[in-house]
Structure 1
Amino acid sequence: MNPQGEKACIPEPQETTAVSGQAVQWLNFASRWERSSRDLILAYRALECRIRDLDTALEARNRALETSLQERERLQELLVRILEGLPLGVLVWDLQGNLTRVNGTAAGLLEREAWEGGGSIGEFLSGYLSENLLNRLLSAVSCGKSFQIEQRMVSRPGGGKSWLRFHGVPLKDGAGRQLGGLLTLEDLTELKAMEEEIARSHRLAAMGEMAASIAHEVRNPLGSVHLFASLMAEEESPQERLRMMEQIQGAIRSVDQLLSNLLNLARPLRPKRKNLDPMELLQECFKFVEPLAKQKGVELLLEPSSHGLKVSADPELLKQAILNILLNSFQATPQGGMVYAWVAVQKDKEGVNSEMDEFLEINLEDTGVGIPSEVLPRVFDPFFTTRSDGSGLGLCLVHNILRCHGGNVWIDSEEGKGTRVRLRIPMISPENN
């Protein structure tokens, strides 16, 4: 009780209820805030962990990327070193013909300054390949084909000459899409010098064999001359002296024929060219040897040709070559055998500076004994023969005749089955006849 005797102030029940509601609300709010704060702290901590994981992963990724870049740089540097260390010249260009890589060997072989970027493949090879040949190379590579030029002699701007092999190939990615082209240059100068030295040695060896053969071929008729001259000095009968004189004259004719053949081999042949029909020439040759064929019992067959094309050749020289082959065929073909001939048109691409050339091929084939495989490589050597009565100059002369016409001769033979000789001569197109 209040000392003053006043009554204590007791709140009314309604006011107490209002205050209690507000407290509960604040308590609820404080509780939610606390939970939200805890959730936020947990989420922040989870985010921190996630960020740390991402940082770790990113750092690992960066390290791997850096390692990969270093490895790529190392491989690229290794590739450059390999390229620079190659004895081959290497040129790489893109689809537009712009150079993207030239190694030092290529610059050295072409006597160019070290490549520092830029330029086109055409500019770089200018002066070393003809425009026609360069266009053919680039065209072939751009079409996805390889192109090779064997042993081309190149005149260097600084003087001197070298032999190079050019080999162009298309450059493609892993999916087969073309990226450009790649050209390799190989220096064949030393190889060519070695080949020439070997050829010189062979020539000297052949000259030694030739000298021995000439001495043998000349000594026999000279021996006959000496013998019959000695006998004539002791012979009194005019008839016998006349017979011995004929023998001496025959020996002198043999020596004269041998020397004529030697001169034909030694001196350069200068064909007196005419436009001629090879079929007419073959018919003339067949008519000439027909009596010999009948005597030997060998059948002659000339297959007709509908080509109507001509060759530019010396008729006498070409006839001499054909007759040489036919006489060899008769000597190798037994009775009942056959010798036949035909002509065909062939394509040839021996020259690197020319397009595909047309050649007319005269084929002479027999069913004779054939040529042993170990003998075949030497049939064109002077004085090489397997016959006791042969001089070994016939086929050598045939080879020279064909070469002086810009052609060539090949022999295919199988022992016991026969031989085929192919005489190939540049052909004249109908409009030039």
Structure 2
Amino acid sequence: MKENTRWNYLIIFLLLFITGLHYFTQSNLWVLHDFYRRLYYIPIILAAFKFRIQGGFAVSIAVFLLYIPHMIIYFGVFNIELFNQLLESVMFVVVGLITGYLVEQDYRRGKELEYQIIKLTNLENYTNNILQSIDSGVMAFDINGQLRSVNRQIIKVLGTKSEITKFIEQETIIEGINKIIKGTETVVKINLNYIGKEKNDLFLDITIYPIENLAKVKEGAVLVMEDVTTVKKLENQVKRTERLVAIGQLASGIAHEIRNPLGIIKTISQTIKEDVEDVEIKEGLEIIEHEIERANRVIKSLLDFAKPNKMKIQNIDLSELLGEIMMVTQKIASHQKIVLNWRPRR
């Protein structure tokens, strides 16, 4: 605002100064008056450049109104010379309008260019914010295959600049980018098992696309990277679960096929034990029954492994457990001439 005021004062001063030169210079010094008349173009052009078409027009009208009285006083009567000077005065207005119009057009083009720059900057920031916010990693390459930009997800997955450089120097990545830039492929998809920054296995799904401008001229390539490590781990867990289910089904079949004969053997053993009097035979039959029970427990453990159940914690009688162990092993020990001495506590 203050700057405009200074310009206003300067233009007014020039108008008054040049007009004063006209009115205070002797009439017979026409050469000087002709020179002073041309000086009027200075404030007209200054006003046009500073205030555009409005300024140029306003100051040119002011010059016209200031200069005409001097011409009338100088010539006294209307003649061809006065008419020529009037036409010359009209040129003040024409110059003011043309100069102001040209400056106005330049000003509008500048504003439009400024608006477009702001718009492009906002669009660039908006696009960059989107790229930084998405979960996919994005790399941009120029037409020479040189890396130009990456988003946060790339840094999060790959880590440092050296790790990123190591990643893009892989043969499969270089080959894919070259195919896109040379136009031999429109889209390149790569499934990559990569050792990450923490020496862990990363499963990456990579897709490479061309970058084209509005004229469909290729300007580079963009690499989009999806970290599917978690998905792969879940898939492996599902496969493991499926295998366990298959084992469970197999174990169920085995249990059915084994338990039935064991049950028959146990029943026959119990029947024979009731009919015999020999103590050793009875002990042998008891061992058979005990081993059948143990086999059943093994089968049950296999089923529990295939289809895990909640752990059941209970108290057991160690004396009873040791008694069962002695009953199983005493017969074998006696054949080896080993004497086992153990008496349960009462």
TM-score by length of 1: 0.40
Of structures 1 and 2, the larger Rg is shown by 2
Higher strand share: 1
Structure that is richer in helix per residue: 2
